[in-house]
Chains A and B, each alone.
Chain A
Amino acid sequence: MIFHIDGNSFYASCERIFRPDLTGQPVAVLTNNDGVVIALNQECKDRGFKRGDLYFEVKNLCEQKGVRVFSSNYTLYADISRRLNLLYSEYGEELELYSIDESFVYLPDWKNGGYTEIGREIRERAMQEIHVPVSVGIAPTKTLAKLCNKLAKKYGGVCSWQELDGETVLASYPAADIWGIGHAKAELLALLGVHTAYDLANFPLDKAKKYLSITGFRTVQELNGIPALDRNELTRKQNIGTSKSFAHGVTDFSELETALAEYAQLAVGRMRAESSACRIISVYLMTARAFRPEDKGKEYFNAASAELPSSTSYLPVILASAKKLLRSLYRYGYEYRKIMINLLALEDDTEIQPELFYNNTGQREKDKAVMSACDCINAKFGRGIIHPGTRNLTKEVKADGKKADWIMERKMLSPEYTTDLNDIPEVY
């Protein structure tokens, strides 16, 4: 059974955690460089604002209506995301991080699952223990789990496909809103008389293959309860992750480092194939789950994230940062079973904001040229035959100890409440 769990207005919810004064207040979060409203809570939506509003256009209105505006604090969001994934991992045999605020959790198929109760428990614990609201969609396929998640609001935050009247739900759900059906496909489907998800589920498979390509074909299968999307297969990538489960427990740091390097290279390769660049890197390190209480001491599950000075698709920068993260996670004496690297906050590699003083465009072009050459050689002679050496470019702290935040325009940045001892919340 697949759980799709999604943080509600995630960025705005994160900003609220350590600000009790913001309870009931409208909160909006802006994109990089404070350009566009990227997330907003219900209170803010109720005042007429929406995602995608240009900040310079609504700035005055925000002031008038008392909206609390924040720059995006990826460090904070990545840490809260890490905590949520830690919580989810207690429930599922496997976890797939789809984006910073969305995960799929795979549970074994039980006859009397009690899945809805598990969903409610996850939701309650996320609120109680991590202080952010999540909604949960539960279904036998990823596409249906996503759909259930969208309906969850109506069902108190948790919606299970098994408890719905499938036909009725699909008949009242627009085909265009199904995961993987984009704008273009929706228009084509409308011409073919497919308007609702019900129409789409009953669309003949041969036609689906012809008109919708392989992904659309899989979507149709998924709507009929047949899992057709692989784990980790994403139609619209918001992050790129690779993970490695070891056949035997690994205790040695250098062995972990080698595995990490291999998987970082794989992830970067995939990211580069999509002409994307990432800004955040997360590394997860875990042992096997302990099911007996006496094994609890052998269990370790941790993750750490780093924000790069600017978005990059350059392997050495990403690898250096990932290794640093691994070092901070590694504890001696555990038998590790799995390592994951996740590249987040993806941007189009062609549109990256150049960094002001540090990585000038000329250097970026050189980096790109080096990587392209490596890609070509690896394509010709086999993956991983060469890779550029590591150099440490993650300049996280300036000489005076201040974070080098001036490289991005982020005037309304909240503190790093959970990751910087100078920024921890104050209690009176």
Chain B
Amino acid sequence: MGTRNTTGFPSPAQGYEKETFDFNKILISHPAATFTMRYDGRLLPDCGLFPGDIIIVDSAVQPKKGMLAVVEEDGEFRCKRLDESVGVVFGIVTAIIRTGVL
């Protein structure tokens, strides 16, 4: 249906073919510096974080106060809003993906 032209007339869609949009492009600004992680902490509604969420963490974003970040603390990764007291910032959470929402 429509994909093969035996009559010689070009498909009216020709020249307009496009692939569906690319989620990588939407979610990742810095491909070399972006890591995918899973949030497995307690529910943090203020941050929009649910346990089990996939988080996109960008290490090329300059950390600023108030940003949601993955930091290294007590030998593990933790998700926090940045203030003065946090330790080593691994990256900034730039997107949250929740799958299986039925």
In the complex, which residues of chain A have a beta carbon less than 8 angstroms from the beta carbon of B36? 418, 421, 424
A128 within 8 A of B: yes
In the complex, which residues of chain A have a beta carbon less than 8 angstroms from the beta carbon of B37? 424-427
Say which residue of B22, B31, B78 sits within 8 Å of A331 (CB atoms).
B22
A83 within 8 A of B: yes
- Docked-complex contact A302 and B59, CB < 8 angstroms: no
In the complex, which residues of chain B have a beta carbon less than 8 angstroms from the beta carbon of A301? 31
In the complex, which residues of chain A have a beta carbon less than 8 angstroms from the beta carbon of B55? 427
- Docked-complex contact A86 and B31, CB < 8 angstroms: yes
CB distance from B74 to the nearest CB of A (A): 8
- Docked-complex contact A427 and B72, CB < 8 angstroms: no
CB distance from A423 to the nearest CB of B (A): 10
CB distance from B39 to the nearest CB of A (A): 5
A75-105 interface code vs B (CB 8 A; 1 in, 0 out): 0000000011011000000000000000000
- Of chain A, the residue at the smallest CB distance from B70 is A427
A407-428 interface code vs B (CB 8 A; 1 in, 0 out): 0000000000110010011111
- Docked-complex contact A428 and B40, CB < 8 angstroms: yes
Q: Which of B40, B72, B77 has the most CB of A within 10 A?
A: B77
B19 within 8 A of A: yes
CB distance from A387 to the nearest CB of B (A): 31
In the complex, which residues of chain A have a beta carbon less than 8 angstroms from the beta carbon of B98? none
B10 within 8 A of A: no
In the complex, which residues of chain A have a beta carbon less than 8 angstroms from the beta carbon of B50? none
What is the bound-complex CA distance between A131 and B90, given in angstroms?
8
A230 within 8 A of B: no
Say which residue of B18, B33, B38, B90 sits within 8 Å of A333 (CB atoms).
B18
What is the bound-complex CA distance between A18 and B60, given in angstroms?
16
Say whether, besides A129-B59, A427-B70, A332 and B18 are in contact (CB < 8 Å).
Answer: yes
Say which residue of A18, A302, A421 sits within 8 Å of B31 (CB atoms).
A302
Interface size classification for chain B? 20 to 34
Say whether, besides A23-B75, A427-B78, A83 and B19 are in contact (CB < 8 Å).
Answer: no
In the complex, which residues of chain A have a beta carbon less than 8 angstroms from the beta carbon of B75? 20-21, 23
A130 within 8 A of B: yes
Say which residue of A129, A424, A426, A428 sits within 8 Å of B30 (CB atoms).
A129
What is the bound-complex CA distance between A374 and B78, given in angstroms?
56
What is the bound-complex CA distance between A417 and B59, given in angstroms?
15
Say which residue of B39, B59, B78 sits within 8 Å of A128 (CB atoms).
B59
In the complex, which residues of chain B have a beta carbon less than 8 angstroms from the beta carbon of A21? 75-76
Say which residue of B19, B41, B59 sits within 8 Å of A130 (CB atoms).
B59
What is the bound-complex CA distance between A23 and B74, given in angstroms?
10
Say whether, besides A427-B40, A427-B41, A129 and B33 are in contact (CB < 8 Å).
Answer: yes
In the complex, which residues of chain B have a beta carbon less than 8 angstroms from the beta carbon of A87? 32-33
What is the bound-complex CA distance between A106 and B30, given in angstroms?
22
What is the bound-complex CA distance between A421 and B55, given in angstroms?
12
In the complex, which residues of chain B have a beta carbon less than 8 angstroms from the beta carbon of A83? 31-33
What is the bound-complex CA distance between A128 and B73, given in angstroms?
17
CB distance from B33 to the nearest CB of A (A): 4
Interface positions of B (Cβ within 8 A of A): 17-19, 22, 30-33, 35-41, 54-55, 59-60, 70, 72-73, 75-79, 88, 90
27 cross-chain CB contacts under 8 A: A18-B77, A20-B73, A20-B77, A128-B59, A129-B30, A129-B32, A130-B59, A131-B90, A302-B31, A331-B19, A332-B18, A332-B19, A421-B36, A421-B54, A424-B37, A424-B38, A424-B54, A425-B35, A426-B37, A426-B39, A426-B40, A427-B37, A427-B38, A427-B78, A428-B41, A428-B78, A428-B79
A-B pairs with the 4 shortest C-beta distances? A21-B75, A129-B33, A20-B72, A86-B32
